[in-house]
Amino acid sequence: MLETPVSPIPADSVDLPATAGQTREVESSAIFWLLAVGGLLLVAMGWFLPWFVEPTANGIGFSPQDVVSSSPTGVGTVLVYVMGAAMLALLAGLVVDAVAVYGHRGRALRYEGARAVLALTGVVCTLAIWVLIGLSHEEPLFGALSASAQTDNAVWMTLTGFAICAFAYGLRPWIIRHTSVSLAGVAFIVGGLVPYIFNQSSDFISWAAGSLAIYTLLGLGLNVVVGFAGLLDLGYAAFFAIGAYTAGSLFGSRHGVHEIPFWVIIFLGAAVAALFGAILGAPTLRLRGDYLAIVTLGFGEIIPDAANNNLFSQTGGPNGISGIDRPGFGHFDFGTDYRYYFWALLILISLVIICMRNLERSRLGRAWVAIREDEVAASATGINTVSGKLLAFAIGASVSGFAGAFYGAELGIVTPEDFRFAVSVTALTIVVLGGIGNITGVAVGAMIVTFLIFWVLPHMTEWSTTVGHTTGITQLSTVPYEQYSFVVYGVMLILIMLLRPAGLLPSRARKVELQTGMESESLAAVRGTV
Amino acid sequence: MSLLEIDHISKRFGGLLAVNDVTFDVGDGEIVSMIGPNGAGKTTAFNCITGLYPVTSGDVRFDGVSIVGLPPHRITALGITRTFQNIRLFSFMTAVDNVMVGEHSRMHAKVWDAILRTPKARREERAVEGHALTILSGLGLERYADMYARNLPYGFQRRLEIARALASGPRLLLLDEPAAGLNPQEKNELMGVISHLRDEGLTIFLIEHDMRVVMEISDRIVVLDYGEKIAEGSPAEVRNNPRVIEAYLGSGATTQMHTARSTPLRPANPADDEGERPA
């Protein structure tokens, strides 16, 4: 223990965070179990469902059973058997280990080496099957596997689940050491496979590209403003609109500009949104909390209204801007295939997340936390609170500008009604629900909120009609479920505030801040310049 | 030559003249204390110097240059930093992060460096973290580096505030009641720290209620009462100044004081001296 003349306090008189390491270990093994069990569930679904469900032309048409029965000696069959054996061995290991872990808390899992070998075998088989399916449609490889069956739900579920499982199992110590990297890696791979896993359901993919991915971006951007810098913004949809209108005007038939590539346009959209972020930020610098929320709320209303009134004859009024070009790479056109938008957005989201994590740990990120915690002390410590807040607004808005540019390109049209208050509410709900200031939390929040609002609600009519027919309650088919979206937001927000006020996955600092109810006064108020 | 010149500053809040035409200066390398009863305008004067309050009239010059009207972060960058009477650490940042915030004005990473985590930014982060740890060890705080500031023992929070203030590399350090709430042992250590900082070339200007601390370390003392400067001079001069005794103990005390010279001067409100520790 380092003791200098000026610190004569004995070591044992202070409660040092000696348990920090242990807590981390527990959290990380929770992630391990999540991955292992989640992966196994996916495997089970993909593997075993087809044995019970009658294959149909449109539904689950391919199963390991088919492979085995149609070509008992094919390479594919061998791979499937090896993979199955490895999977069963790992499953047995999971049971044994679960028992062992319950029996002796904190004890390390056994047969680390054997598990690693099994996992490696599984991964190699999985990769081989992927490659074979991707490259070859020939009968001997997979027996009855046809061109349409190669993209079957069951196969992709099995393969993905197995990969996750093998990864979790074989590399447990590594996962515990690199929690966020492994989570991000798995999320990226699973995300990339979503269009394959759900290839039978095109509206699921359009939901994933049009709602999930877009709102994840919006949540990530709003998180900079609300989470990092602590500035409540209720008009975030305005920047989304600005990005969409900028890109829509530049990229399409409206101004006949077809030369600028889409990948340049999205940056223009982001830049214009950032500029407006700074423009909104400037007059609101001296405001905090409720007052800031009201100003941003107003801004969020002004922008769609201005667009609705055909501002400078550039926004097309209520009809918006249509005929937006479809993006692509060179001669390859995305067209209306949502899979490509989804993949492009997945890459964009990954890049944004990397940038956000960099920001969080940078000079600027520290300045934001300092401004959020105590603006007066921050300025006395040498932080320019004016530029700090403006940068938060601008960076937050620019992410939303990216989202807007993609949104317009996906739909081919932008109208003022796409950017109403509901968009701001959704983005804010995502951030609050997921965990203010936590990037992973925002991603999780986006999944939950967009799933409920943009997947479950629109499908409720369909489902309840079916239920109504079978039960004879015909009224069920006429309930306008989609009108209840604000009820869902309200219930979600009330529940989260009652049960987990810091969000599902709170950032550690924000959790304590909320518990102690901290709110510092603004520098402007202290200086008397309000 | 004087490093800080306070030239006839006044600060008015509506009908209240909190600081009234105060003039004094702080010489390079000096330790100057400002004392006065509660509500005398000491902290207000501090806030005027550091730019938290705009002065109503008068001028503040640092190293010969007027700093009136500059925003607080510019004044910090010029070389004046401060601590606060009621500790204002960033409670939910670790101690080392608090000090790294203090280095903000010395860092050069731009927005793009922050977003892309460029090699330049990484180098700077590493250097700044190293420097922050050096400052922490200099004040005996190295073992608290990774703790949240709010979890530090009270006396160490006061010290961490000084560490944060030192991080920007100031020439003038303003300490607002650094001894408040410290026990006698911690007060001794504090005095050690202050003299040590002065020996390293820093100029120190402090507000303090604890007369033992003030009398022991100050080169000069400025006394405020009701916003006005009522005395200035060496500890011995101030101790025997009738106006100072009157301000603290009321009129009529002067004669008694002169008969009992050895009685140490105490603040009007003894509770300030003991300073209750927050839970």
* Of the residues A150, A183, A200, the one at which a domain ends: A200
In this structure, the strands spanning B80-82 and B172-176 are: parallel
In chain B, which residue's Cα lies nearest the Cα of A385?
B73
Claim to verify: residue A195 and residue A251 sit in the same structural domain: no
Calpha distance A357→A428 (Å, rounded): 20
Q: pLDDT tens, A380-439?
A: 999 998 889 999 999 999 999 999 988 988 888 888 888 888 889 889 989 988 888 888
Task: Give yes or no: residues B21 and B52 share one domain.
Answer: yes
Last residue of a domain, one of B142, B163, B184: B163
Compute the distance between CA of residue A233 and CA of residue A425 in angstroms, rounded to an integer. Answer: 10
* Chain A residues within 8 A of B143 when measuring between CB atoms: 1-2, 7, 11, 16
- Show the CA angle centred on residue A378, arms to residues B228 and B174, nearest 5°: 35
Residue at A73 is within a domain: yes
Who's near B218: CB < 8 A, 6+ residues apart?
B31, B32, B33, B235
Same domain, B183 and B251: yes
ipTM of the complex: 0.86
Q: Are residues A155 and A211 in the same domain?
A: no
Both A268 and A180 in a single domain? Answer: no
Task: Determine whether the interchain pair B92/A365 forms a contact, defined as Cβ–Cβ distance below 8 Å.
Answer: no
Tell whether A38 and A94 lie within a shared domain. yes
User: Within this chain, do residues B144 and B209 fall inside the same structural domain, yes or no?
Assistant: no
What is the distance of C-alpha A123 from the center of its chain? Answer: 26
CATH of the domain at B41: 3.40.50.300
| Whether residues B156 and B191 fall in one domain | no
Structurally, how many domains does chain A consist of? 2
Give a yes or no: residue B279 inside a domain.
no
B203 lies in which domain range? 2-79+170-274
A16 domain residue, yes or no:
no
Same domain, B128 and B263: no
Give the model's pLDDT for residue A475: 73
**Rounded Cα–Cα distance for residues B179 and B194 (Å):** 11
| Chain mean pLDDT for chain B | 86
Q: Say if CB A509 and CB A369 are below 8 A apart.
A: yes
3-class DSSP assignment, residue A275: helix
Q: How confident is residue A490, by pLDDT bands cut at 50, 70 and 90?
A: confident
A275 and A194 in one domain? no
- B12 vs chain A: nearest CA distance in angstroms? 11
Angle (nearest 5°) at CA A139 between A136 and A142: 75
A217 and A184 together in one domain: no
Given this model, what pLDDT does residue A193 score? 72
Predicted pLDDT of residue A8:
38
**Which residue from B114, B139, B140 is facing A359, i.e. has the nearest CB?**
B114
B155 and B174: one domain?
no
Domain count, chain B: 2
Q: Is A411 on the interface with B (CB under 8 A)?
A: no
Question: Which one of A150, A166, A200 terminates a domain?
Answer: A200
Tell me, yes or no, whether B108 and B135 share the same domain: yes
Q: Which residues of B touch A6 (CB under 8 A)?
A: 139-140, 159, 189, 192-193
Over residues A348-357, the pLDDT tens digits come to 998 998 899 8
Q: How far is CA B43 from CA B31, B216, B227, in A?
A: 17, 21, 10
Most confident of A118-127, A325-334, B102-111, B132-141: B132-141
The residue from A200, A220, A253 where one domain ends is A200
Does residue B86 lie in a domain region? no
Q: Are residues B181 and B102 in the same domain?
A: no
Enclosing domain of residue A156: 22-53+60-200
On whether both B180 and B75 belong to a single domain, the answer is yes
Say if CB B160 and CB B132 are below 8 A apart: no
Dist. CA A108–CA A371, nearest whole Å: 43
Chain A residues closer than 8 Å to B92 by CB: 369, 373, 508-510, 512-513
CB count in 10 Å sphere of residue A370: 27
Q: Is A68 exposed, middle or buried (0-12, 13-18, 19+ CB in 10 A)?
A: middle
Q: Which one of A3, A4, A6 would you mutate to disrupt binding with B, by most B Cβ within 10 Å of its Cβ?
A: A6
Flag whether B85 is in a domain: no
Boundary-marking domain end, from B135, B163, B191: B163
Nearest residue of A to residue B167, measured between CA atoms: A381
